[in-house]
Amino acid sequence: MTRSSRRLTRLLAAATVTSALAACGGGGDGGGGGGGGENEASDIGVTADTIRIGSHYPLTGVAAPGYSEIPTGAQCYFEFVNDAGGVYDRQIEFIYRDDAYNPTQTVQVVNELVLQDEIFAMMGGLGTPTHRAVLDFLNGEGVPDLFVASGSLLWDNPEEYPYTFGWQPDYEIEGKFIGNYIAENFPDARVGLFLQDDDFGEDGRAGLEGYIEDQIVAVETYVPGNTDVGPQIAALQAAGADLVVSFSVPSYTALGQLAALRLGYQPQWFYSNVGSDPTLVGSLLANFSEGAVSDASLLDGAITTEYIPTVDQTDNPWVQLWQRVWDECSTAEGELTNFRIYGMNQAYTTVQALQAAGQNPTRDGLVAAVEQAGGDFQGSWYAPFRYSADRHAGISGMQVSRITGNTSEELTPVLITDNGEDVDIEESDNEPTTPPEDGIPDVEPVE
């Protein structure tokens, strides 16, 4: 069977989406100022008028719901920048391939990206188990591996993996925020954990335990691919957990909700950011009739965390920018979603990194630019990145919020912290930022 499913995945790989953004619109000053001189083919993947970025996403399979929308958002933002002239007059070509959330396939498609498509850098490769499989390869080849779309701690290890950078708040600090909130607001809760059986769940648990170790009464895990989670949810119920913290991807949020529904089990749910999109989970459960489930109501009242403005915040200037990007995009299909906004944010950060790397970037120069300037990148994120020569960790803060219908209300101000039990959680004093007028960042090249 393994052999046949491997053949299947190959076949699906043939249907891989490859997208190179058309070069349209002429000149204009999209670059970060500076530079004189001519554009040169300064490194692999860079020509005088193009620069090639690659990535891998689950476009099919168990992790595809939601996550397969991320590259469509990123692609539209790159198109938006290209239409305004690109970065240093270079058009960004964004090529992404389907790995079906299967590490074996990630290895294959990333090989193709690096060796055959000859990308300049990676951007936003998605998934902990998947991206971990290509970490050594990318660093061995010296390919900048920017902004991995996963909150694993693995990406923040500049000594071993000098080319890799995290982006979103890592699962450990997310666990700390969640644990802290529970300790303060639910001090008597009997806490059950429902964790993905890899670093995603483990890192989250590590962060939680610093605050609520003595409140945890049960720890259950699920393996992506096995869709029967009934026994695990039954075990949480049997342990008497009245608050369940779930580090799960969206499809398993839905499966866990279904199992709980069968059991008549109604704890207070607390979802990590990645698995909590109410619109997506609602649409996953949309076909159940007979009044068993009514759309997003299952997640109503669940608590979660946020670190970038979401699609329901229509008066936020960043969300207005993302809406504009989406409306103007030639490849856009369907509605703007939180996953697409995530992709746009990552693309926005990538454009900042390319600007910081200067007119004729090299791979090593790009890494140095993010280390030097990345801590000051401004965007829609609630708290700054932790990039420096010694750290490659992403966003440092989040806020806790409660899901109500398809929107959410904030329960705490933005909190910031860092890894380790000895770093306290503090309120952020960052002012909310607004996007630049033309929607394109303007970062000075580093020296």
Partner 1 sequence: MLQFVNVTLNGLVQGMIFAAFALALVLIWRSTRIVNFAQGSMAAATTFIALAIIQAGQSYWVALVVALLSGFLIGAVIERVVIRPVEGGPELNAVIVTLGLFVAIQALIAIVFGSSFQSFTTPFGLRGFTFGDTTILLTPNSLYVIGAVLVTMLALIALFRFTRVGLAMRASAFGQEVARLLGVRVGRMLTLGWGLAAVVGSLSGLLIAGGGLVYPAYMDVIIVSGFVAAVLGGLDSPIGAVVGGLLLGLVLSYVAGYLSPALVNMSALAILVVVLLVRPGGLFSSSTARRA
Residues forming contacts to partner 1 in the complex (CB under 8 A) are 1, 4-5, 7-8, 11-12, 15, 59-62, 64-65, 68, 197, 220-223, 225-232, 234-235, 237-238, 251, 254-255, 258, 261-265, 284-290, 292-293
Q: How far is the CB of 282 from partner 1 (least distance, A)?
A: 10
Nearer Cβ to partner 1, position 213 or 262? 262
Q: How far is the CB of 213 from partner 1 (least distance, A)?
A: 21
> Which is nearer to partner 1, 231 or 432 (by Cβ)?
231
Closer residue to partner 1, CB minimum distance, 84 or 239: 239
| Backbone φ, ψ for residue 61 (5° rounding) | 90, -170
Nearer to partner 1, 62 or 443 (CB): 62
Q: C-beta of 435: minimal distance to partner 1 in Å? A: 31
- In whole angstroms, the minimum distance from the beta carbon of 370 to partner 1 comes to 34
Closer residue to partner 1 in complex, CB, 218/403? 218
Closest approach of partner 1 to the CB of residue 281, in Å:
10
Could you tell me the smallest distance in angstroms from the CB atom of residue 186 to partner 1? 23
Q: How far is the CB of 3 from partner 1 (least distance, A)?
A: 8
Name the residue nearer to partner 1 (CB basis): 86 or 250.
250
Q: Name which of 117 and 197 has its Cβ closer to partner 1.
A: 197
